[in-house]
């Protein structure tokens, strides 16, 4: 089973690739809305990428109020 | 410029000439070639369905009657990057309802619903095989448009959702009777009562989606499917569809009644106002 740090690292890689930013510019505690410059509809793309990659279902209401990569990793980790 | 209709002869295979009919509007365009009608949605940002889109959809279903004679399939897809369709134009709905008293607002909503039900019922029952080729956001009214089609072919980045309960409403464009027709009731309850979104893989697992394809591949797969259907006897395909796919007219009418009852409640106005006036990156959805 993946560790939380591995999950977090994979999330950062996926986000960087999907939104075409350098992974080095992303850090675990970043507000991804601000750092990636995305809105809620674009966040759904990220959610789909993450669900497909980790083979989990993550109800979007569990992500209400989640805006940083570390908390997001915790939500995914809880479903692995 | 909207309202341009063209009919032109295009050389196809040797000894054959095919007719291409085209129409282009502000929210959508369509064309028919080689027996396949393609309806393209292209209203920014994500094909929100408001009065202007509805007028063009009404023009489309009127034209569809004429095109049916020369077609065996209809493909509906979006040219917008964000997705297939984000659903009803909630801003227009809110602003229009604010400009009139409650009873007039409900009357206006009922009229809009009856018109869009007529459009979707005609697509649902069309004597063609209809395919929604979807990607990205396929929410609310967009999901309902896809449900009116015979097959849904989804890009793996597609996401389906009925968020209406989160705003104090129910789906109003025929989504509930069509979901009940097509899926098990436990799945219908999950989608409607939680208002959560599900991805294409999940949508295929529950029987909603016919094929899941790679990113950007839904239209190609829909065209390949339509090409296969051309090999079949058209009259048989039409008879089979009519036998397989009942249209739940009575329940569709009851959905309109329930929607209008709920629309009059203060909770809806409050929910719509919070959603429309939100400037947050995550708009108000409880």
pLDDT score of B283: 61
pLDDT score of B261: 92
Mutual angle of helices B102-125 and B249-263, in 10-degree steps: 160
Q: Does B157 touch chain A (CB under 8 A)?
A: yes
Nearest CA in chain A to B158: A48
Location of structure tokens 């796919």: B245
Beta pairing, strands B28-33 & B36-41: antiparallel
The answer to whether the CB atoms of B196 and A45 lie below 8 A apart is no
Q: How many Cβ contacts (< 8 angstroms) between chains A and B?
A: 54
pLDDT score of B274: 83
Chain A positions touching B198 (Cβ under 8 A) are 57
**Burial code of B30-56, b = ≥16 C-beta within 10 A, e = fewer?**
bbbbbbbbbbbbebeebbbbbebbbeb
Task: Give the containing element (helix H, strand E) for B81.
Answer: none
> For chain A, how many structural domains are there in total?
1
Give the single-character DSSP code of B217: -
Which pair of tokens denotes residue A42?
């674009």
Compute the distance between CA of residue B48 and CA of residue A50 in angstroms, rounded to an integer.
26
Angle (CA) B136-B138-B142 rounded to 5° is 140
Closest CA to B172 of B152, B144, B194, B139: B144
pLDDT score of B20: 54
Mean pLDDT by 10 residues, chain B (286 residues): 41 42 92 95 95 96 91 97 94 87 91 98 97 96 98 97 91 97 96 95 97 97 96 94 96 96 87 81 59
A 30-69 residues inside an 8 A Cβ radius of B: 33, 38-45, 47-49, 51-52, 57, 59-61, 64-65, 67
Q: What residue ranges do the domains of chain B occupy?
A: 4-277
Task: Give the Å distances, CA to CA, from B73 to B8, B12, B60, B105, B109.
Answer: 20, 19, 15, 38, 32
Fold (CATH) for B4-277: 2-enoyl-CoA Hydratase; Chain A, domain 1 (3.90.226)
Q: Does B198 touch chain A (CB under 8 A)?
A: yes
Q: Is B21 helix (H, G, I), strand (E, B) or coil?
A: strand
Residue A26 is part of a domain; what is its CATH number?
1.10.1200.10
Tell me whether the omega of the peptide bond preceding residue A24 falls within 30 degrees of 0, making it cis.
no
Q: Does A5 touch chain B (CB under 8 A)?
A: no
pLDDT score of B284: 54
Hey, of A17, A44, A75, which one would you mutate to test binding to chain B, going by the most B CBs within 10 A of its CB? Answer: A44
Q: What is the value of ipTM here, to two decimals?
A: 0.88
Helices of type H across chain B:
51-67, 90-98, 102-125, 141-147, 175-182, 185-194, 200-205, 218-229, 234-244, 249-263, 266-277
Q: List the domain range (segments joined by +) for residue A58.
A: 4-77
Contact B229, B73 (CB under 8 A): yes
pLDDT score of A42: 85
- Gap from B202 CA to chain A (nearest CA, Å): 8
pLDDT score of B285: 59
Hey, of A41, A46, A55, which one would you mutate to test binding to chain B, going by the most B CBs within 10 A of its CB? Answer: A41
């Amino acid at each position: 089973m993946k560790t939380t740090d591995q999950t977090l690292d994979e999330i950062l890689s996926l986000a960087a690739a999907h939104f075409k930013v350098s992974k080095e510019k992303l850090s675990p505690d970043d507000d991804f809305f601000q750092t990636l410059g995305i809105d809620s509809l674009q966040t759904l793309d990220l959610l789909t990428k993450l669900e497909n990659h980790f083979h989990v279902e993550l109800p979007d209401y569990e992500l209400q109020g989640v805006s940083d990569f570390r908390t997001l990793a915790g939500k995914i980790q809880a479903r692995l | 410029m909207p309202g341009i209709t063209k009919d032109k002869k295009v050389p196809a295979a040797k000894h054959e000439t095919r007719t291409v009919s085209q129409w282009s509007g502000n929210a959508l365009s369509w064309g028919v070639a080689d027996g396949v009608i393609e309806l393209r949605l292209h209203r920014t940002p994500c094909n929100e369905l408001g009065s202007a889109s509805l007028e063009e959809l009404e023009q489309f279903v009127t034209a569809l009657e004429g095109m049916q004679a020369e077609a065996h399939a209809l493909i509906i897809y979006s040219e917008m990057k964000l997705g297939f369709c984000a659903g009803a134009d909630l801003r227009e709905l809110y602003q229009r309802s604010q400009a009139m008293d409650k009873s007039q607002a409900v009357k206006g909503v009922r009229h809009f619903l009856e018109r869009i039900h007529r459009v979707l019922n005609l697509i649902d029952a069309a004597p063609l095989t209809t395919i929604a080729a979807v990607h990205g956001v396929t929410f609310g009214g967009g999901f309902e448009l896809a449900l009116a089609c015979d097959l849904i072919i989804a890009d793996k980045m597609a996401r389906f959702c009925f968020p209406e309960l989160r705003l104090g409403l129910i789906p109003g464009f025929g989504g509930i009777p069509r979901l009940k027709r097509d899926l098990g009731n436990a799945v219908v309850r999950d989608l409607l009562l939680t208002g959560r979104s599900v991805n294409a893989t999940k949508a295929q697992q529950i029987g909603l989606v016919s094929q899941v394809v790679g990113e950007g591949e839904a239209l190609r797969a829909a065209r390949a499917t339509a090409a296969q259907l051309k090999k079949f006897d058209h009259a048989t395909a039409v008879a089979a569809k009519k036998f397989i796919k009942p249209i739940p007219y009575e329940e569709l009418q009851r959905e309109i009644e329930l929607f209008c009852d709920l629309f009059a409640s203060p909770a809806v106005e409050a929910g719509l106002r919070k959603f429309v006036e939100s400037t947050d990156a995550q708009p108000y959805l409880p």
